[in-house]
Structure 1
Amino acid sequence: MQKRFKTLMIATTIALSACGGGGGSPGETQEHYTITLRADKAQLPINIADALPGLGAYRPYTTTLYVEARKGNLPIPGGEDIFACNVAGGLDSGALYYLDGKSEHETEVDDGNGGTVKVPSAYRNITLGSNAGGNSFHFHAGDQAGNARITCTVQDPLDKQQRSASVEISVGGATGKPASVRLAAQVNDILGTKFNANGILNQMAIQAFVMDDANQPTGSTSGSNVQVRILSGTDAAVGARLVAGSQSGSVLQLPSIGGVALFSLLSGTETGTIFLEMTADRADNNVSNGISDPMVGILPIQVMAARTVAPTIDNKDLGTITKGIPFTAYLEAKNGLPPFTWAATGLPTGLTVDASTGILSGTVSQDAAEREYRVTVTATDKNKISATATITFKVVGGLPEDFAIGDCNSTAVCSLGSAPVGKNFTYSFVSSTTGVTWSFGGLPAWLTAGTSPTAGVLNGVPKVTNCGSQRFLVTATKGATSVTRTFNIDVVTGPIPPGGVPEDYTCP
């Protein structure tokens, strides 16, 4: 009887042990769940390289997180969808990833070569199963500094309550000291001149950004950390001003919110470019107490009187220009807002471009180099928007005799135009050099040469009997050198004076 009682006690002890006293199924205990969450790295660098998540020494922007739940001292049972984890704060600084290689946790993106590639998908919350009471996932840093708080929960089957655990990961590297400054104006917009009649606003909202070493926004700590100034020296700067709240003028000092300061630019009456200078102080991030280590950025703002397509000029080949011979070419600008102002660089001596008409004219000097010229021409419209083009031409020497008669520098017949019957006709020849004497051969009977051989003057009054085209020779002589050219003149019907006989003035 005693032996049987002892056997029963042993069996009872074993049964009690199986109920939770020492290593049995956790589902049979009355203890609540506990959950823990930890990260391999509590600090990550800012991912300014926009690198993809991954593990290993060359993936410094990713860390692994481990979530575990226990019931008493034992792992909770395994199963699907046991843990729910999310980024509970600092989502701008990073996201969660599975990195388990499963296709449902990857996204197909363009690889830039006409194909696609799969990359890990980013999540703000994920669901994990339990294996031996835990699981792992990953957090990958973004390009914004901050503290990300990740929270995981598990439901306790005993009371159906959620148990949670959190961990914070710092995405850092920011110094808080200004390292760069830049301005951003309203996108795809222009500033109109004051009082313009084309409906263009003469006020533009602009934001100033103060960024630190890690290209993170640097907010104001005390005073103002941004100074904005209109740079003088342009027509558009005259009468323009900056406004922000109660401040107004050509210089503003502003505090920033999250590294961003807002102000407006108001235009004056002139077109052109306004250059805005923004300055921050790296020394103490405060410009209101003086600037000892300036960080400067400049933004150009175009001021226009009307919205137009930007002007353009076509490149042009002007061919050959002969030294000593008058030359004219007409340059044209397309689009833009007239009037245009013209300029040219690289012209040989003797040629100039008219600033208001764009006419290129002059006589290339005998001292100019005989070569091909590439000249840059610029046209600036009323909006102060410029266009440039290249004109090319080749400068050659004068005729072998070193001078020419007027603008007739070829072997072709040169025209003196027409002479009306009954009207006095006078023409004076010129050459490309001085000290020339003139002689004429085969002159029509009605034309006579002047008495001075150095004047090169012809005059006369044609009659009806002289009607038609008539040719003669003109020779310019200087020393032992001479140039001869053939000229043509047409005698045509002239005006009939009062009381005149029509037959005396009308060519057949």
Structure 2
Amino acid sequence: MKFAASLKSLVLLAATAALAACGGGGGSDSDSGFTPQGLSLTTSSSTVSLNPRSLTTITATLRQASGTPVADGATITATVNGAGLGNLSTGNGTNGGTATATTVGGVANFYFQSGPNPGTGSITFSAQDTTTPGRTVTRTVNVTVGNGPGNDPRISFQPTKTDIAVNTDGVPFFLGSPYISEVIVNVRSASGQAINDDGDGDQAIQFSVTPVENGAVSVPDDPDTDDVNEMTTPFVSIFTGVSAGVSRAFVWSAENAGTIRLHAAFTDPDTGQRVEGVYDFNIVTNVPPLPGAVVVRAPTSPIYASDSGGTSSGTVSISVTDGAGSPVPNPVAGSTAFNNVRLEIIPGGGSGDAVLSGTNAAGQLQEATSIVLRTTNGTANALVIAGVETGAYIVRATSDRADNNVDNGITSPVVGERTIVISDGRLFSVRIVSPDIEAILANRVDTGVVDESGEEVPGGLDGSYSFTVSAIATDRQGNPVLAGTPIEFGLVDEPLAGFPEEGPGTFVLSGGDGNPREGGTLFTAPSGHFTTTSGGPNDAAGPGDTLLVFGQEVPGNRDLESARTVAQVNSATSLNVTQPFNDNDDTGVSVDFGNVLPYIVGRATTGTIGATSSTNSLGIATTTLNYPVSILGKAVALWARGAANVSGGGQKLVSDVVTAVYPGIAPATLIASPAVIPGNTTSFVTVCMLDANNSPIQGVFIGFGFSLESGSGTVDGQSSGTLANATGASGCALAEVTTIGMTEDGEDTVQFSVPGVEPAEVEITVADNLILQASPTAIIGNGTYTIDLRLIDGAGNPVQGTAISGTCEGDGETATVNISQQPDLTDANGETEAVIVASQMDQPDGGAEWTCTFAVGGGEPSADVTIKGRDSCAFSGASPPPPLGACEDETDPEEQFTLTVRLTTPGATSATIAGSLLCSAAAGTSAECDAPFADGTTANMQVTPAEENFVATAAGDCVVNGSDEDVEGRTVTFIRSSPVTSDISCQITVVPE
């Protein structure tokens, strides 16, 4: 009976199992209970632990209920659960968050590559149970990505050394260098195949280093690149080839100790995964982490005496580095901080009342001439606080090489010093800055008319130009004077002789033997002729005129640079002024050198200038000079002055006087007409100098030179040099060109030139055929122009009764040029004329250019006349002005970039930058200044050292223009490259001449 009962129980259990298998449908083998009859899915591991950027292979196996593998071709899908956890591939060249493989012998392999960051997640493997419709079997593998180094088996490193010596001296590459480690890098695909790539494919290895300040990397030289040796050139990142799974890199050290990491990356052709391996190298030094150098950096802004009204404090920065150039460790013993810098301020003249202020390691505020500080990451800061005494001070920082601790005394001092100037902000020197000629404004007449869009319709040009004149004012220590200091301006441009026939002209009332009475109002000049001149009664001096004395031209007379109003004329050699001359006592004692100073007496009759301005925070005062276009090229003398308080009470006038010419608008154009002349005879060529607005520039002596294959030539009787006459009121000069001995017709020319202007060339021919000459050969801008035409034979004889016709063609969207009057038959002199009408030649972002060609029947000979428009976006006088928004760099903020300039001066002088960017640095300091400007424009900056024996040098994106003698105002010009997509900077340093 017991046996029967047991058998009955087994039958019931079997029936229950059969009911469970038939009744409920699908389910997975991960369900609780027992494994159903059907396919089963297993993985090589239930958990995976690996580091970032590492690879592991996971095998998934699909079996039948009997335990035998499923038939080949069954599909298994794997999916990564967790953002950024990693990616999967089955070796088919692709990868992603999901991968699918088909079984072989019931097995499918998956390559899992972990992501760049630690994390946790899982991978779900799944397959359809083909024996039970609707049933899916799954398997979950838990994944943990740790925080260690990558361990991808596809890439490995074999360095010659892992410790590289710090390269403090920047020793270049050489094999076996202690500053370089050669690294063999082995790379394989996921299937174990060696990688091959010539350096241009997807499997090329990219080497890079981090951090970049700790070193660099190079690779074997590529023979296909002639311009660079990749092995001896340091790179931050570079691609190179790989052969038979092997590549090579060279890791370089820099001047800082620390760690440098080599990154090597390539694309696995099996999986499409980007494989990256990293290897760390130690940049080591046997130099102990103790002070080896101390540097004091001066405040970036001037410091003034406490009673001056200016800023009376500034921050100094102290850096302490070890012998290898790395910051010293923070001075801490356990939990207790200590001081490792002693800072002192020492008056340069032996007395002074400036103090230092700073917080020590205990957090206590100190204010004294000697304080102690602690560095953080090698740097400490303190405040210099001025008293009432001015002068140069030495800020001295001392650290202890023995133990980086100054609290327990200083055994082995390491010292850094910096000169700090404290000044009074009172006017001592003023200098006029040369104008930016490209910033001249062509003035217009205001119409007051508004168009349909509400915009005012611009009027025409009013025949005058304006530009900004700046003056830089400094105190005796070279700092900018206090903001708001008044500066007066003025000019003298008459009486003038010789303009324009003899050039810019010479001031009639001038000489080189002036003698101002120091502290008095008397001025004498033994060769003076203040009462009578050969130029007429208006050339005599009189009350109200201006006397300009060029004291700075003669050493020892700086203080006598003067601009004074004439009070009365005593005689031909003597006059008095309304305000006393300075005492010429820079040395403390008044000095009289006698009749040695250049001078001018005159008045302003054509130009005007704003009378008074005030300095800004940089010590710069600006005003506007206005003048008619009819006198471009005429000489002018400009002056600026300000009142300065002197010790003991009273004031003196500090002045600067410069001579210049009234400038035209750049660029200028040189035109020579006719364009062709016969050889072995004498011909006349008209050479004209015009500014960008087609205004004539007078008083210019134009140079010339010949290029002849045979024979010789002269212009105005000279074989080389300049034309006999300067350009006249029309901006033109007549050149008499004579050639002899020319035997063959070739590329023979005479070229006319002016520095900075594109030359004009005239062809000289000895052919027997006819020559057609046109004058002028070029036209600028809009207007109606008469063209003189002349037909001659090869000997220069006129040809009469010949018909000439002209045609015009060119570009420009709206520009039109036509010949309103065609030429008649040539007369007895071989001459006729035509009339050209040009309109809408000025165009946004580049003017139009047309050519009118005149020719006799058959087309030869011919003569061309060029008509050029101007860039209406760059030229304020263009007609019509560009429509709003037509210019690329007009107001688009995306086209605005920043020019950053770092101005550095030695301890002996200060310097100021004016022009497109304003900046000032006191003696022994550095200042960083910036200014926005549009893409494609030019920034013109004039650097003015306070002392005459200093000049400016430039680095980065700035270049210096000007001669070595141009000491008082070296022009540093920055020209934007194209295209520009980022901010740009440069460094300007003032150094002894």
TM-score scaled to structure 2, two decimals?
Answer: 0.27
Rg: which structure is higher?
1
Q: Pick 1 or 2: higher relative contact order, CA cutoff 8 A, min separation 6.
A: 1
